[in-house]
Structure 1
Amino acid sequence: MQLNDICIHESIFFIHEFRATVFSCFFLCSWVFDRVLPIFFAFFDIPPHLEDSRKKSMNIGLRFLLGVMLLYCFPTSGQQSKSQTDLEYAKSLTFREITTIIGQVSEDTTMVKAYIGVYVDKAIREKEVFEEAHGYTLLSSYEKDEQSKLNLLDKAISLTLKQDSKFFPMLPYFYKGNYYLEKEQYTKSLENFIEALKHSRTKNNLSYQYAAKHNIAIIKGEIGYYQEALEIFKECLDFEKNRENFNPYAYSEILYFLSKNSIRLGLIDSAKAHITEGLSRTKSIYPMLYNKISLEEANFYLHKKDFERARNSVKRVLKNLETSSASKDDRTKILALYYLGRIEEKSGNLSQAAKEYLAMDSISNDTGLKPAEIRNGYVFLINSLTDENKKYQIVNKTLLFDSIISQNGMDVSARIFKVFDTPELLNKKEELINSLNADKKRNKKTIIAILSLLLVLGIVLYFQISNKLKLKQKFEALIVEDEINSISSSKSDEKKSNVRAEKIPETIVNHIMEGLKKFEIEKGFLNNNITSKSLAILLDTNVKYLSIVINDYKSKSFSNYLKDLRINYAIKELRVNKKLRNQYSVEGIAKEMGFNTSESFSKAFKNKTGLNPSYYIKQLTKKEE
């Protein structure tokens, strides 16, 4: 533990007193390791989302130190005065002393909550806002009721929202973000991490800023924005390399996420470099993280079709899970069995693949964990199982699986519906129901339940088809409109000026209009750096005159004028330019059209046409075929 870390940790926990002893800091750290890991990580400039591997790998050494200190710093339990653990006596103690007692009774949840109550009451009585917020944050980690847990964190936030602190309200925001992240509620998690980032910037806390960015990048990767996640992780890696107090775990974890997102983007060679460095840094030190990187190594070899090496990497992970301190990592075990099934499937050993996928499903059922990657395993089982009852169960699981992922904001259609999309899955389900009904009569209640499910699914399917038809109609109308505009290119959107434009000399108006015409013909709007000021200079006029003329003669603001020119050009160019359509990504097309980001381009395109650029391109390609 670095001296700076100790100073930071103590400064927030014990605001009113000089923190004289190293023991109190270590003892409190042990308690936080057990109960409020995300807060501990935040204090030590470690991204709050880190998993149990950090906790388990450090806990043994930390507790050894604590045990030695207890022998020297405190009497044995038989020698302790009863008043030291008495709640009434605790009311006269300092915040530090109450926290020390909480550490002593950390295994007794009832007593811990009672002492935290004393801590909070003291803070309220003495009007110590940060101590009160700290108490609510600690208490939330012992609260079993989820709404009560969130209410306590919200109270800590509201107390410190407008207060001057280096650590609040970021800590409760981090804690809420982690709470929702663990439940895979990515939208709510993202909202809290963004708030933590905003306040970290306001308070100029660089470590917290990168902790928030780290978490946001994790969410982006989980919902399919691999490129954006990759860029943020690269930025975080640079920060970790150059920071004064180098954090080897945080650095290694970033290598893991870099390798994971690189593989999903097809950047296999880059992924291999991150995997190699990550394995060398985590072996024998961080077993859980080592296992995760090993699975990415297996995924790398799977892409290379080196099945033997891929199989060895996964088996190494499974062996580690049986023997190491990482044996409780059920999520990694599920993924390991999935990859083992994937390897067997790709190498042609289909019966063994089915066994691995069934083992994966068994653990997933027991734990309730359903990583997004494992869906392909269920698809394989649907297509390979001969037992109709088992197949029916797997189909139901897959439908539920899809529903959960869709609700979490994942790009389901692009990421996991490639092999077995929803309409096919619904047809398969109907066939299985008919087959099962032929084998066994079902009672009335079961039939009603099935019919109800099919009715709901039918309604959902109807709306999906209806939406597709509407999009198709919009596309056809857009093509017709673009073709008409191409034939009558001389069509003008100009109108007679109003009183504002009439105040400008006619010669100047004509000069500006001629300049705009030339600007449009020469496609000056494709320059992404063009502004009203730069265009005014180009047309030898001023911004005020230019804005008035565009508003009056083009019936739109300058920014909308540029957007319309760019989108109209994009509609036409995508229709006639195969190279632009087939070889450029949406981001690349956006750059070509003068937009700075793919998001701004997509939004402008959607506002203008009612369609997403990707859908428009896809339909153009289909039409051409």
Structure 2
Amino acid sequence: MAHFLWSKTLFLFLLPLALLGQVQKKDLTRLPYDDLKKLFIENEKNHTKQIEYANAYLAKAKQEQTSIRIAKGYYMYSIINKGTKSICFLDSVIKYSRNTNDIDFPAVAYTEKAYELKAQFKFKEAIDNFILAEKYAYKNNIDYYYEIKYSIAVLRSEELGETIEALNLYKECFKYYKAKEVRTPKYSINYQNTIFALADSYKALNQTDSATYYNKLGYRESKFTKNERYNSLFILNEGANLVLKKNYKAAFDSIKKALPKMIEYKDEGNTLAAYYYFGKVYDGLGKKSEAVKNFIKMDSLYQKTKRITPEFTSGYPYLISYYKDKGDKENQLKYLTQYMYIDSTLQKNYKELTKKLQKEYDIPQIFLEKETLIQSLEDQNTKSYWGIGGLFLITVSITGFGIYQHSLKKNYRSRFEKIMNQTEISNEHLTNTPNEEIEIQTNNNKEDIGIAEELINQILEKLKRFESKKEYLQANVTIQMLSTTFETNSKYVSKIVNTHKGKTFIQYINDLRIEHVIVQLKKNTKLRKYTIYALAKEFGFNSAESFSAAFYKNTGIKPTYFIKELG
């Protein structure tokens, strides 16, 4: 079931803020930092205004050269961006706050970076950043330390299925909060979050009595603090727990009571959970058609949010089997396709699942029966023919997708092994070769390019030294820049690189960088924890996209795959 997490904006609200009136744009940098922060938050729905206030905050901080203020300015930018852009700004937050001993930073930045990585399904990198956040919070903010520990536990339980490991972390958090004033605004939410997590974990482990104990505790605490949302959440979770106890009538009553509140509070994750457990209740009561209706509602919510945890995926095999028994091959394939896609998204073993599905749900047989289906439906209206066409396309898509995935994985693995089996690349050799020992070998078979041989040799020697010193790792290396350094004509450098290196100047620079990247990633495990954007900047590329494109062109695989296989 979905857990509640603190948002970035909520965090900013916790900071001291001052009330202020309207100010002109030109006067923004004269405002106190807290006032700029206040304006930034108040304009949450006005992106242009937020950028203005973030600009003013950061400009003021840079003018005063205050590291922690600069960090907080970049943090504002991280809030109004998502994904890779947000991570880029968070890296700047970390850079400027790392040595400040601030109560919140860089721990908050590492935490938010972890959330962004989690959203990209980069769970290992997310945990690494959570752990770094823990390290800083433990020194400067013990309350926040336990919030981070809770976040790590949520990731491990919901995304990685490591329920027992997560449960131990939840117990640590529970012990900490029990010693606090848990019915005060400062601790009540975190305490109730932890109680819910314990109940949910025991439910996942099928320890239903323990789950009931914590659901009842959470119900009492949320009732006392008048937290209607959490109160409904504990009712829903106990309903799910009653499904495991096969007390379907009581389960139905609990879920029915909680569902309207989940919808009212727009809690889509737990609304999906409610429909899933309604499906389980109806199945337990032998009402298959009603179970199907609720699993379809569950799928509709997934289609809207594109978020689902492994706990709820068993609704799809139920739908597939139901439509298989009904002989409805179109819906059978529809939910089969959906299930396969979700499985690949959750990064399970796609190949094994494909074999299982082909065996259990007769994909080859469905394909072979296409002609029979056409014959049996030929008297129906035009709409039916569209259905047959769709069925055929879905079947072909599933088969093709499976073949493609298998072929792609095989090719990627082959290319990866080829890279790993290669001897250390040429620029690695140059690293260990003293400059005075570098020899220039010219190829006498090269075509005449209209440049004196002595000049060619001079430029080749300078290129060798350029490679050995790894000057290609500098950002924005251009042929004009290099020609000026070499004290020669850019056309000469271009011709010599084309002829003697067999590639364009841009390809030449990019290949040198990628070859160096591969060597460094093999040797340096710390680099494997970098984001793609950070790697791009580290090795001279202007963007994550240009780095990924160059890596793929050089190796035939994506950098994310290469790093993942390195382990």
2:333 to 372, 388, 392: 392
Report the equivalent of 2:278: 340
Deviation at 1:274, TM superposition (A): 0.2
Report the equivalent of 2:356: 424
Moved more, 261-270 or 436-445: 436-445
Asked if 1:309 is matched to 2:250, the reply is yes
C-alpha distance 352-149 of structure 1, shift in aligned 2 (>3 A): same
1:259 and 1:274 in contact (8 A); partners too: yes
> How far apart are the structure 2 equivalents of 1:91 and 1:454?
57
- Partner SS state of residue 389, structure 1: helix
C-alpha distance 104-335 of structure 1, shift in aligned 2 (>3 A): closer
Report the equivalent of 1:177: 114
Asked if 1:435 is matched to 2:372, the reply is no
Report the equivalent of 1:319: 260
1:276-325 C-alpha deviation (Å, 9 max, x unpaired): 01112224833443333223201221122111001111111123235x4x
Report the equivalent of 1:455: 403
- Partner SS state of residue 173, structure 1: helix
1:132 and 1:156 in contact (8 A); partners too: yes
Asked if 1:220 is matched to 2:156, the reply is yes
C-alpha distance 216-450 of structure 1, shift in aligned 2 (>3 A): closer
C-alpha distance 167-446 of structure 1, shift in aligned 2 (>3 A): closer
Deviation at 1:336, TM superposition (A): 0.3
1:109 to 43, 47, 64: 47
1:175-213 C-alpha deviation (Å, 9 max, x unpaired): 112233455542232121111012223x25322221221
> How far apart are the structure 2 equivalents of 1:195 and 1:221?
20
Deviation at 1:169, TM superposition (A): 0.8
- Paired positions, count: 382
- Partner SS state of residue 369, structure 2: helix
- Partner SS state of residue 85, structure 1: coil
TM-score, normalised to structure 1, is 0.56
C-alpha distance 364-436 of structure 1, shift in aligned 2 (>3 A): farther
Matches within 5 A, 1:152-551: 152-182=89-119, 184-201=121-138, 203-222=139-158, 223-243=160-180, 247-283=187-223, 285-322=226-263, 324=264, 326=265, 328-385=266-323, 386=326, 387-406=328-347, 422-427=354-359, 428=361, 429-436=363-370, 438-440=372-374, 449=397, 451-456=399-404
1:39 and 1:175 in contact (8 A); partners too: no
Matches within 5 A, 1:122-133: 122-133=60-71
2:279 and 2:291 in contact (8 A); partners too: yes
C-alpha distance 87-256 of structure 1, shift in aligned 2 (>3 A): same
2:242 and 2:251 in contact (8 A); partners too: yes
Report the equivalent of 1:37: 10
1:133 and 1:157 in contact (8 A); partners too: yes
1:39 and 1:171 in contact (8 A); partners too: no
Alpha-carbon RMSD: 3.2
C-alpha distance 155-314 of structure 1, shift in aligned 2 (>3 A): same
> How far apart are the structure 2 equivalents of 1:374 and 1:178?
22
- Partner SS state of residue 206, structure 2: coil
1:35 and 1:142 in contact (8 A); partners too: no
> How far apart are the structure 1 equivalents of 2:176 and 2:322?
48
Matches within 5 A, 1:554-573: none
**For residue 358 of structure 2, what is the amino acid of its counterpart?**
L
**For residue 383 of structure 1, what is the amino acid of its counterpart?**
S
**For residue 37 of structure 1, what is the amino acid of its counterpart?**
L
**For residue 290 of structure 1, what is the amino acid of its counterpart?**
N
> How far apart are the structure 2 equivalents of 1:105 and 1:319?
31
2:367 and 2:395 in contact (8 A); partners too: no
C-alpha distance 153-119 of structure 1, shift in aligned 2 (>3 A): same
Report the equivalent of 1:491: none
> How far apart are the structure 1 equivalents of 2:130 and 2:74?
19
C-alpha distance 374-97 of structure 1, shift in aligned 2 (>3 A): closer
> How far apart are the structure 1 equivalents of 2:122 and 2:114?
9
1:466-518 C-alpha deviation (Å, 9 max, x unpaired): xxxxxxxxxxxxxxxxxxxxxxxxxxxxxxxxxxxxxxxxxxxxxxxxxxxxx
> How far apart are the structure 2 equivalents of 1:260 and 1:104?
36
Aligned-residue sequence identity (percent) comes to 23
TM-score, normalised to structure 2, is 0.61
Deviation at 1:271, TM superposition (A): 1.1
Deviation at 1:367, TM superposition (A): 2.3
1:131-165 C-alpha deviation (Å, 9 max, x unpaired): 1111111221112x532211111111111223332
C-alpha distance 182-146 of structure 1, shift in aligned 2 (>3 A): closer
**For residue 240 of structure 1, what is the amino acid of its counterpart?**
Y
> How far apart are the structure 2 equivalents of 1:345 and 1:239?
40
Deviation at 1:364, TM superposition (A): 1.6
> How far apart are the structure 1 equivalents of 2:148 and 2:87?
19
C-alpha distance 244-426 of structure 1, shift in aligned 2 (>3 A): same
Deviation at 1:368, TM superposition (A): 1.8
1:106-155 C-alpha deviation (Å, 9 max, x unpaired): 44221121111011011011101111111111221112x53221111111
**For residue 219 of structure 2, what is the amino acid of its counterpart?**
L
1:419-452 C-alpha deviation (Å, 9 max, x unpaired): x954221232333333346435759988875553
> How far apart are the structure 2 equivalents of 1:436 and 1:341?
31
**For residue 150 of structure 2, what is the amino acid of its counterpart?**
H
2:198 and 2:214 in contact (8 A); partners too: yes
2:78 to 133, 136, 140: 140
> How far apart are the structure 2 equivalents of 1:461 and 1:426?
19
> How far apart are the structure 2 equivalents of 1:194 and 1:35?
19
